[in-house]
Amino acid sequence: MAQSRVRTTEKSTLTANGARRRRNLSRAGYLEAKLGFRNYWYPAAFSHELAGGQALGVRLLGENILLRRVGERTMAVADRCLHRGVRFSRKLECYTDDTITCWYHGFTYRLSDGKLVEILTEPGSSLVGKLALKTYPVTETKGIVFVYIGEREPGELGHDVPPNFLDPELEIDGIHDHVNANWRMGAENGFDTTHIYIHRDSPLIPGNDLMLPLGLCPGDRHGISTYSDSEPKGVLDHTFESYQPVFEAAIDGRTVARSKGVNNRNIVAREVSIWMPGALKVDPWPDPALIQFEWYVPIDVDTHTYWRVLGKRVAGAAEAAAFHEEFHSRWESLALHGFNDDDIRAREGMQEFYQRDEAWDEEHLFKPDRCIVEWRQLASRHHRGIQPIA
């Protein structure tokens, strides 16, 4: 993996017009990407949501997509009949293993290629074979169905997910939720170093004996690595290497808050990284034996699907089963909800401000936001396309 340590220090608050113009240019693509980036793989559903051959309608980057497993393969087609534009998922009709039939007039499409193969209300229609639904490339791994949104030839999944996610020994489990905030609020909250402040009373800290500071002071030489010459492209923050942890906070010389995890044993979040098209990796988290992955997948301009996924290296089926049991009995409530639900509230709190385009010029970033500035620049310079707003 190619890597280049970033050495230049970018001022987080710029007042001169020239500086503002340069800053805007360097993040222009990111500001435009209200619906995310095209030509990437995105998680669309957990495999178990497609169990029993049932079809599922999902919405990604403003596109309605229908998913269905056909034998070993999972297929994805546009969730909109070509005839009168209704969504198949309003009333699912699957008569055969590899077709979807529209509930309105019986237009029936083959899932593998999207072709109109029959119209039940006019058998032998001259339209048969002449129309085809848009199909989406699909790949499924680690219990997650990924869909490719874009017009370019899809590349390897490994180029579009955080490092290690596809490691063979890594067992995965997780949840996803609807959040009322633009996807960039999700990405920036997740990658934001000092937002740990909002988690200072989280039950996870005593619950898993976590050493967690209130904040982090960056040293003179930022420990941020930017990966822009290889795939996946991302920004990695060496949090424990380059920051001074803050365990006590004072106002006017009077101590007002203390980290509850200062004397705890478990060291976590040594590295936090974000990867195109918008996926986080916190390593390790929420336990020295686990890694947390997150995706912030645009639904519409004002909403995103928040994926919270844990990975654990396991040696065989028994360890894998134990991990899933542990996930459901312990980590789902203690870590994913008990800790990350606060992040949902923080993103929704930012949305009111950042939904106004001018907000991006009105914000005042501080030194620890350097990682966010790097992420915005990377995304602006190295994306494969911007999803247009319909």
Q: Is 314 in the site for its own copies (CB under 8 A)?
A: no
- The correct pick among 52, 71, 124, 168 for binding its own copies (CB under 8 A) is 124
Q: What is the spatial distance between Cα 38 and Cα 63, in angstroms, rounded to a whole number?
A: 12
**How far is CA 185 from each of CA 81, 304, 311, 319, 372, rounded to the nearest angstrom?**
33, 9, 24, 36, 11
- The correct pick among 60, 216, 235, 309 for binding its own copies (CB under 8 A) is 216
Q: Is 303 in the site for its own copies (CB under 8 A)?
A: no
Per CB under 8 A, the segment of 136-144, 146-154, 242-250, 313-321 that binds its own copies is 242-250
Nearest of 203, 225, 223, 222 to residue 212 by alpha carbon: 203
Per CB under 8 A, the segment of 141-149, 210-218, 289-297, 328-336 that binds its own copies is 210-218
Per CB under 8 A, the segment of 146-154, 187-195, 282-290, 292-300 that binds its own copies is 187-195
Nearest of 90, 138, 145, 144 to residue 112 by alpha carbon: 138
- Per-residue string for binding with its own copies, 253-282, x by CB under 8 A? -x-xx-------------------------
- SS3 percent helix, strand, coil of the chain, rounded to 5, is 25, 30, 40
Q: How far is the CB of 253 from its own copies (least distance, A)?
A: 10
Alpha-helix residue ranges (DSSP H) falling in the chain? 17-26, 28-32, 183-191, 204-207, 239-242, 317-326, 341-354, 359-362, 370-382
Nearest of 320, 315, 271, 321 to residue 293 by alpha carbon: 271
Q: How far is the CB of 250 from its own copies (least distance, A)?
A: 7
| Burial category of 86 from C-beta neighbours within 10 Å (exposed 0-12, middle 13-18, buried 19 and up) | middle
- The correct pick among 4, 9, 54, 96 for binding its own copies (CB under 8 A) is 96
Q: Is 217 in the site for its own copies (CB under 8 A)?
A: yes
* Cα–Cα–Cα angle for 305, 309, 314, rounded to 5 degrees: 160
Q: Is 291 in the site for its own copies (CB under 8 A)?
A: no
Q: Is 215 in the site for its own copies (CB under 8 A)?
A: yes
Q: What is the spatial distance between Cα 84 and Cα 216, in angstroms, rounded to a whole number?
A: 56
Q: Is 120 in the site for its own copies (CB under 8 A)?
A: yes
Q: What is the spatial distance between Cα 282 and Cα 284, in angstroms, rounded to a whole number?
A: 6
Determine the 3-state secondary structure of 265 from DSSP: coil
Q: Is 119 in the site for its own copies (CB under 8 A)?
A: yes
Report the residue number, 198 or 320, with the smaller CB distance to its own copies: 198
Per CB under 8 A, the segment of 176-184, 292-300, 303-311, 344-352 that binds its own copies is 344-352
- The correct pick among 28, 86, 175, 301 for binding its own copies (CB under 8 A) is 86
Q: What is the spatial distance between Cα 221 and Cα 163, in angstroms, rounded to a whole number?
A: 24
Per CB under 8 A, the segment of 36-44, 75-83, 298-306, 314-322 that binds its own copies is 75-83
Residue 228: CB atoms within 10 A of its CB come to 15
Q: Which helix (H) or strand (E) holds 45?
A: strand 40-46
The answer to whether 107 and 100 are in contact (CB under 8 A) is: no
Q: Is 220 in the site for its own copies (CB under 8 A)?
A: no
Tokens 């991990």 found at: 323
- Per-residue string for binding with its own copies, 20-59, x by CB under 8 A? ----------------------------------------
Q: Is 126 in the site for its own copies (CB under 8 A)?
A: yes
Q: What is the spatial distance between Cα 346 and Cα 273, in angstroms, rounded to a whole number?
A: 19
Per CB under 8 A, the segment of 26-34, 270-278, 327-335, 358-366 that binds its own copies is 358-366
Binding site for its own copies (CB under 8 A): 12-13, 80, 82-87, 90-91, 95-96, 99, 101, 103-106, 108, 117-127, 130-131, 192, 194-198, 214-218, 246, 249-252, 254, 256-257, 345-346, 349-350, 352-354, 359, 362-368
